[in-house]
Amino acid sequence: MYKRQGLALDLLEIMRLNFSLPREVLLSPGAMGLYLLHSGKIAILAVQPVLLTLLLAAVIGPISLGGWLFAGKSLAPKFSRMNPANGLKRMFSPTALIELLKALAKFALVLFVALSVLSADIDDLLRIAHEPLEKAIIHSIQVVGWSTLWMACGLILIAAVDVPVQLYQAHKKLLMTKQEVRDEHKDQEGRPEVKQRIRQLQREMSQRRMMAAIPEADVVITNPTHYAVALKYDAEKGGAPVLLAKGSDFLALQIREIAVAHEVMLLESPALARSIFYSTELEEEIPAGLYLAVAQVLAYVYQIRQHRAGKGKRPDPLKDLPIPPDLQRDS
């Protein structure tokens, strides 16, 4: 309460000092300067508590919310920002030139409206000085109101032109360039080198899984050098024989080596190996057209196993296997 009374008294003292000037002061420019300095000193002392309160609030508020944070990097000088060349580039860029022209056009329009309003109301403004007080107040309000309305119309015209331009520029900034569209497409679909690497890893995993299944095969049919396919027949589940592995050239050689290492029987039948290789995918059953040929192969493998176990005679070699024309592949 005392501070508010002190502030009010100081402001009252400033008003009294500046509105009750002696004649000597009015006629002396030096005295007027001394009065101004004295009034400024009183004003500074009067608002000093308010300024200190605002300073403490500005310091304590952020500290109470986020703690004391001192970033030395923010105080470090950045010479890149002091480079006049960058500033000149921004000042004389096409965008800056367009903004300058827009600002000059707005200024010219506002100035034109203001001069037009002033020239239209100059007679009213001169008459107000000779009118009675109450009539002058009413007349002044009318003049100010109409002047404000016409000035607002000028600003509305500026907004009517500037808003579509700003919307167009904002829309243009949001549009992507062709390079950005290509980059986004690559990010969505995957970059070619990444996709190629993924496919390579998938092939390697598939090959490892395929190689691991070869020891379970009943027979590996070969070309004998270019192709190799591994088949397995599960009598308990029924159905047709399943292709466990297939490969050509170097991969076919690896299939044969694994089959020999795990004592899986190798059988040379170039026509049947090519037919299975091209017509059947991994872990799928062979087509119906090859049932008879593969059945003869599996029967031959079973007889060989019986012979090796001493339970039967050695079977005769397989003759030409029946392969439908639509499943035959040339070497």
Shared domain for 322 and 219, answered yes or no, is yes
Check whether residue 46 and residue 145 sit in a common domain. no
Is residue 315 assigned to a domain?
yes
Question: Taking the CA of residue 22 as centre, how many other CA atoms within 13 Å lie in the half-sphere pointing to its CB?
Answer: 5
115 and 30 both lie in a single domain: no
Identify whether 177 is part of a domain. Answer: no
Q: Verify that 233 and 314 share a domain, yes or no.
A: yes
Q: Are 303 and 266 in contact (CB under 8 A)?
A: no
Q: Does residue 149 lie within any of the structural domains?
A: yes
Kindly give the confidence (pLDDT) of every residue in the chain, 331 residues in length, as a single tens digit, with 9 standing for 90 and above: 444 456 677 777 777 777 777 777 777 777 777 878 888 888 888 888 888 888 888 888 777 766 676 666 766 777 666 666 666 666 777 777 888 888 888 888 888 888 888 888 888 878 887 888 778 778 888 888 888 888 888 888 888 888 888 888 788 877 777 777 777 776 666 567 777 777 888 777 877 888 888 888 888 888 877 888 888 888 777 788 888 888 888 888 888 888 888 888 888 888 888 888 888 888 888 888 888 888 888 888 888 888 777 777 787 777 778 888 888 776 5
The burial class, CB within 10 Å (0-12 / 13-18 / 19+), for 118 is exposed
Return the pLDDT at 67. 67
**What pLDDT shows up at residue 38?**
83
Output the pLDDT for position 132. Answer: 82
Q: What total number of domains does the chain contain?
A: 3
**Which of 114, 144, 172 is the last residue before a domain boundary?**
172
| Distance in angstroms (rounded) separating the CA atoms of residues 129 and 121 | 13
44 shares a domain with 141: no
> Is there a domain that residue 206 lies in?
no
Q: Are residues 142 and 219 in the same domain?
A: no
* Model pLDDT, residue 74: 66
**Is 220 contained in some domain?**
yes
Same domain, 57 and 96: no
Identify the domain containing residue 10 by its residue range.
2-63
231 and 147 both lie in a single domain: no
Three state DSSP letters for the chain: CHHHHHHHHHHHHHHHHHHCCCHHHHCCHHHHHHHHHHHHHHHHHHHHHHHHHHHHHHHHHHHHHHCCCCCHHHHCCCCCCCCHHHHHHHHCCHHHHHHHHHHHHHHHHHHHHHHHHHHHHHHHHHHHCCCCHHHHHHHHHHHHHHHHHHHHHHHHHHHHHHHHHHHHHHHHHHCCCHHHHHHHHHHHHCCHHHHHHHHHHHHHHHHHHHHHHHHHCCEEEECCCCEEEEEECCCCCCCCCEEEEEEECHHHHHHHHHHHHCCCEEEECHHHHHHHHHHCCCCCECCHHHHHHHHHHHHHHHHHHHHHCCCCCCCCCCCCCCCCHHHCCCC
Judge whether 179 lies within some domain.
Answer: no
Residues 138, 236: one domain? Answer: no
Q: Do 305 and 234 have their domain in common? A: yes
Position 119 in a domain: yes
Q: Are residues 58 and 128 in the same domain?
A: no
CATH number of the domain encompassing residue 285: 3.40.1690.10
Give the span between the Cα atoms of 302 and 285, in whole angstroms.
20
Check: pTM over 0.85? Answer yes or no: no
Is residue 283 assigned to a domain? yes
